[in-house]
Amino acid sequence: MLVYLYQDLLTGDELLSDSFPYKEIQNGMLWEVEGKWVVKGVVDVDIGANPSAEQGEDEGVDDNDVRVVDIVDTFRLQEQPSIDKKTFPTRLMTFIKRYIKLLTPKLDKAKQELFKKHIEATSKFLLSKIKDLQFFVGESMLDDGSLVFACYKDAATDPTFLYLAYGLKEIKC
């Protein structure tokens, strides 16, 4: 079965795969992907030994189980520290200007034109949601890579992720 991974075009970090369906928004500039909280437990390895007679039955809940967001865990996304929402709009605009400068030369001419045409509206869209966003980067934590944004829409219990689509490179596996 053919699988598609989506890498950050600037850093090479794997950020998404086709096992997480996306919806294009903001004229195709952003991909919206639904994440889910899941329980990740310790791997139970059966080595063939009989459990001690003194041990009770498995109670079904392991203290080592941890709740994680599937996308964050699968792609080892790194959450960025809490950000001062008053100064962040300026920081986001600085990031976007640098991102445009780094990403544009890596796009073909047609994508460059569409990217330049729609990035301003996309930036305004992200700024309008600033108070509700969490920020993630890829595993390498390189400053020049894409940001992945997460929010909880309409009081949802699971997060929605927003990816800058033009910064993703499709890899067939």
Q: Is residue 16 part of a domain?
A: yes
Q: Is residue 55 part of a domain?
A: no
Cα(122)–Cα(117) distance, rounded to whole angstroms? Answer: 10
31: number of Cβ within 10 Å: 22
Structure tokens at 68: 């994680």
Q: Is residue 60 part of a domain?
A: no
Cα(2)–Cα(51) distance, rounded to whole angstroms? Answer: 41
Q: Say whether 16 sits in a helix, a strand or coil.
A: strand
Cα(45)–Cα(68) distance, rounded to whole angstroms? Answer: 21
CA distances from 79 to 5, 133, 139, 171 (A): 20, 11, 10, 24
Q: Inform me whether the pLDDT recorded for 117 exceeds 90.
A: yes
pLDDT score recorded for residue 80: 87
Q: Is residue 52 part of a domain?
A: no
Q: Is residue 83 part of a domain?
A: yes
Q: Inform me whether the pLDDT recorded for 38 exceeds 80.
A: yes
Q: Is residue 56 part of a domain?
A: no
| CATH code where residue 16 lies | 2.170.150.10
pTM: 0.85
Q: Is residue 29 part of a domain?
A: yes
Q: Is residue 48 part of a domain?
A: no
Which residue has better confidence, 61 or 19?
19
pLDDT score recorded for residue 50: 55
Cα(9)–Cα(16) distance, rounded to whole angstroms? Answer: 12
Tell me 55's DSSP state. S
Range of the domain at 85: 4-39+70-172
Cα(90)–Cα(46) distance, rounded to whole angstroms? Answer: 54
The set of residues, in sequence order, having a beta carbon less than 8 Å from that of 69 and lying 6+ positions away, is 35, 36, 37, 38, 150, 158, 159
How many structural domains compose the chain?
A: 1
pLDDT score recorded for residue 63: 65
Cα(4)–Cα(62) distance, rounded to whole angstroms? Answer: 34
The mean pLDDT value for 65-71 works out to 94
